[in-house]
Structure 1
């Protein structure tokens, strides 16, 4: 019998502020994630949870980057390490500390170093966030403990996603390398000489790797051209876009907030994404996703 994937997650607000500190945990699990806005770092100083051995994540947006930047680390005393980063790292706005709430079963230094190494690899593989750091060292962990930590890691990913930071989830879900055009409801934008394909997801409309943009902007696009060219520049800097045979090609999956934002960028001209994205049979995104409601 297939097990249910349903989960109950409790989020505690210590100061009652939904935009403040959050402590999230899964019922019957000992691991918990503490989200701390940078401006409220001092307010958690006395909380016992933040003074334990911890895996931690820093999240923020660099002005020159289109994707959220993240940093993954480990610490013997979580709060003290965050205090150091408050003085030395500019980019981050939010920290998430991962600790255990079981006094008899705290993380060891080796535990969090293993989780740091594994988390880095999974985050880089997912490609959702910009990770600007070197590969952390991989410590020796007994096989039995490694299995425990991998089980804990699944809970960590769930908690981070619930708090709004799905750092280990690729834009294609769990089967990143598999593109089943029928099951995944693939849509194509081939007006002019564009050869783009993608999917409408929880993240917006995701244009997939290997999509090719139209070769040049159309007349009438001048009012948007400056902003469009700025985005082109940023995408090239972040290696989201490359150039192949004189045309822009997507090197990574890239989400856009709406179908029209995606098709306008791909076509380099004004576009209604609800009609410009079509499935293999020629049905528009509008027909499939809006008119069938």
Structure 2
């Protein structure tokens, strides 16, 4: 059963592009987001002069994709001053500290290691950390407390606007190409679908963000002239970054890929315009369109 949460966000200058302070009610952690241009202004925030972990967001020069660097520091502001000089790619920082004094150097090193691991697994951003930091040794109680801290951190990071730690799909719903259809009352649950085209077969999960084509899904090697130019460019981009690979003339997805709509995903797979809402079918043979009509108010 899902439980609602209350989050407060304070806009320092009344602007959504300025410094923002975010917190979850009844949690000792806190987040601050700031544009690169206002790092010096963080000196007026005691929250920034504490041990914590931070995320630098920007654009990767090599690929042009969204990039991320994750770090830790005994004093976040001092480390950010260093990153102003040493790292050029980023334009926003989001850092997390504690309202009390219970977050230590060992704690933040543990958090850094786990957060890098989660960001790699989510694979939403180009991760610019050169090496995976070693996981620091903590007593069992401290380790569990840090895992709870990470859960709240992920929530706040997403609310601020970055899903860097969120996996694009949960594979618990898909087993041996069979899908488990959740109770319609569970509005946030993912649902599994299959697209069959000639000899091709692709599995996907529909969730709150769109549709996630799962690793191993096959694609047609051909594209028709009627396929939209934007889709052609996206398909080429997925080939260039390794999301789609070729093996003896066979194209397939090497990892899960999120698409904004069922039709976009289907067109990329079959190579021509197609109505994905009618062609993605669940285990009962119902299309996404059918299910939407069943649940419509």
Secondary structure, counterpart of 1:45 in structure 2: helix
Question: Which of 259, 264, 268 is the aligned partner of 1:261?
Answer: 264
Number of positions where the alignment pairs a residue of Structure 1 with one of Structure 2: 286
TM-score normalised according to structure 1 size: 0.86
**Aligned equivalent of 1:84:** 82
**Where in structure 2 are there 5+ consecutive unaligned residues?**
182-189
Question: Which of 43, 64, 69 is the aligned partner of 2:67?
Answer: 69
TM-score normalised according to structure 2 size: 0.85
**Aligned equivalent of 1:151:** 148
Contact 1:62/1:68, CA 8 A, preserved across alignment: yes
Distance verdict in 2 for CA 1:169–1:66, change over 3 Å: farther
Asked if 1:284 corresponds to 2:287, the answer is yes
Contact 1:65/1:234, CA 8 A, preserved across alignment: no
**Aligned equivalent of 1:127:** 123
Q: What is the Cα deviation at residue 47 of structure 1? A: 1.2
Distance verdict in 2 for CA 1:202–1:112, change over 3 Å: same
Q: How much is the aligned-residue C-alpha RMSD, in angstroms?
A: 2.5
Question: Which of 8, 15, 21 is the aligned partner of 2:13?
Answer: 15
Distance verdict in 2 for CA 1:139–1:66, change over 3 Å: same
**Aligned equivalent of 2:4:** 6
Q: How does 1:1-293 map to 2 (within 5 A)?
A: 5-62=3-60, 65=63, 68-102=66-100, 105-133=101-129, 134-173=131-170, 175=172, 181-183=179-181, 184-221=190-227, 224=229, 227-228=230-231, 230-290=233-293, 292-293=295-296
Q: What is the Cα deviation at residue 74 of structure 1? A: 0.4
Residues of 1 paired with 2:96 and 2:291: CA distance? 41
Q: What is the Cα deviation at residue 61 of structure 1? A: 3.3
Contact 2:174/2:180, CA 8 A, preserved across alignment: no
Distance verdict in 2 for CA 1:110–1:284, change over 3 Å: same
Q: Deviations over 1:215-247 (max 9, x none)?
A: 2112433x62xx555434432343312123312
